[in-house]
Amino acid sequence: MGATLVRDAERLPRLDHLLRLATPTGLYEHALGDEPRVEHGMCVDDVARALVVTARFPSSDASAADLAATCLRFVRAAQRPDGRLHNRRDPDGAWLDEPSTDDHWGRGLWALAVAAVELPAGPMARGARRGATLAMSARSPHTRATAYAALGAAELLRVDPRDGAARRLLGDARATLPRAAADARWPWPEPRLTYANAVLPEALIATGGALDDAALLADGVRLLDWLVAEQTVDGRLSVVPVGGRGPGDDRPGFDQQPVEVTALAEAAATALRVTGDLRWVTVLDRCVAWFEGANDVGVPVRDAATGAGFDGLERDGVNQNRGAESTLAWLACAQLLAATSGDAA
């Protein structure tokens, strides 16, 4: 534990805007321009993403460490004794929904596992491990929730092969995660690409690697290869728009969401770690380049001065709002590429 993912701290982006969205309770979900929209409250979805990013920062970064502690408290407070999680919370700290195992549960489990592995050994890492273990007592009927949960379980199993709860969750995920279809033109296991698509092949790769299942790993790599090719035009990313994409849809599509780029980056980083194939560094490069202007419009989708991410790439520019999801998408991509500096040398 405590071996941070980040190797090249000089290449990390600024946290100014993320900290602007933060409070001692959590992280505001939306912004109008760069101003937090307090009335829209907070959610585990984004706080979990923030926990992943801040847990991966060097422990010497006091601002990141403080925010990681806030995010960990938030996710742990959302948990119920049966492993389910609340998602939505108002600014005063009241939960606004019933606990469930929707997608936020999977993201929460993943974040807790990353924090347990990446944070320095101590009370926070132990609390994150307890939270991840509790979350693994639940299961979800939802594909992406299960995929995120599998990423968390694989993270735990990587550092502790004796973790029975993680191994059981991965066994269940292996039986339920969708596999590649037979159609070589559209091997995607769904009729359309929708959102956070790359988490599906990433979960297959992570699960296959953790369980020594070569066929599952190969299936995940095949799907990720296809997904990258499907979203690459002339050497740059052209990602699925908010409305999704099916066979034969016109391209490019807008509004392109930063979360799709980050999903690709996370999947490429996992594929790099599991397979050791340096071609995945090229995908990480393209993900960062998309934010920096190598995209269908040719404009940056991040503010280098503050570390903010814009809320979408549109036909005539960017959505000027800078919410938590988009900001964390940019931070995560830059962070993951920085972590490859030693691998790609």
Lowest mean pLDDT segment, chosen from 147-161, 185-199, 328-342: 328-342
Q: Summarize pLDDT for 241-283 with one digit per residue, the tens.
A: 999 999 989 889 999 999 999 999 999 999 999 999 999 999 9
Q: Which amino acid is at 196?
A: A
β-bridge partners, 309? 302
Q: Summarize pLDDT for 209-238 with one digit per residue, the tens.
A: 999 999 999 999 999 999 999 999 999 999
Q: What is the pTM of this model?
A: 0.95
Mean pLDDT confidence for 307-317: 97
- Give the pLDDT band (50/70/90) at residue 1: very low
Structure confidence at residue 100 (pLDDT): 98
Q: Is the pLDDT of residue 187 over 60?
A: yes
Q: Which of 104, 112, 160, 159 is nearest to 134 (CA)?
A: 112
Helix axis angle for 103-118 and 62-78, nearest 10°, is 140
Mean pLDDT confidence for 110-120: 97
Structure confidence at residue 59 (pLDDT): 84
Structure confidence at residue 12 (pLDDT): 78
Looking at 88-194, list the stretches that DSSP marks H as alpha helix, in order from N- to C-terminal side.
103-118, 123-135, 143-159, 164-176
Other CB atoms within 10 Å distance of the CB of residue 185: 8
- Give the pLDDT band (50/70/90) at residue 60: confident
Pairwise CA distance, residues 93 & 302, whole Å: 30
Task: Mark 295-308 as b/e (b = at least 16 C-beta within 10 Å).
Answer: bbbeebbbbeebbb
Q: Is the pLDDT of residue 11 over 80?
A: no
- DSSP code of 3? -
Write out 203-259 in H/E/C secondary structure.
Answer: HHHHHHHHCCCHHHHHHHHHHHHHHHHHCEECCEECCCECCCECCCCCCCCCCECHH
Mean pLDDT confidence for 328-340: 95
